[in-house]
Amino acid sequence: MKMKMGSKWDQAYDSAEFAQKYGLTLSQAKTVIRANGPSKKQCDIAAPIFLKAARQFGQRRSERNFPH
């Protein structure tokens, strides 16, 4: 049985492509892809959620370092 190459991989992200699209570091992109699989659809859903969580984490971290 021969496997078709292409159709599934056409819908998969390369970590560099994904990082560039969403302004992520390569490490962040790899983390999102590992957590969601390489599916463009899944990663496109996960990216904004990841970015929001990263911003919130950064805000909380800066608030702890600089109390008002």
pLDDT digits (tens, 9 = 90+) for 11-61: 899 999 999 999 999 999 999 999 999 899 999 999 999 999 999 988 776
Which residues contact residue 37 at a Cβ distance below 8 angstroms, ignoring those fewer than 6 apart? Answer: 43
User: What 3-state class would DSSP assign to 39?
Assistant: strand
More confident site: 64 or 49: 49
Reported as a pLDDT band with limits 50, 70 and 90, residue 66 is low
Q: Please state, in angstroms and rounded to a whole number, the distance separating the CA atoms of residues 15 and 8.
A: 16
pTM of structure:
0.71
